[in-house]
Amino acid sequence: MLTYTISWVRRTGMRKLNKWEEVTGKLADVRSEEDQTLISVGDVSIRVTGLSDTELKKSIDTEVSIVRTKSGYRWFRCGDEQ
């Protein structure tokens, strides 16, 4: 199940998480573009800064959660919350 509350960024067609928003679902795609990482989780595409695309790519096809906090983005594989 995909859960999210996110805002739409019209100029890029990508969504950007607001502070304390989260997207959870199956990680489908990760790619870098300029200084940003573009991530597809379920049927949602988001753009983030400060996350390693190398580490995220290792988790493609697994359930992940990405959260934007006051200090930046955090992510984890679902089930690895400890």
**What tens digit of pLDDT does each residue of 6-38 get?**
443 444 457 788 899 999 999 999 999 888 899
Q: How many structural domains does the chain have?
A: 1
- 75's CB contacts (< 8 A; 6+ apart) are 51, 56, 64, 65, 66, 67
37 lies in some domain: yes
Dmax (CA) for the chain in angstroms is 37
Contact 46, 27 (CB under 8 A): no
Record the pTM: 0.76
9 lies in some domain: yes
Q: What is the mean pLDDT of the chain?
A: 81
82 lies in some domain: no
- 58's CB contacts (< 8 A; 6+ apart) are none
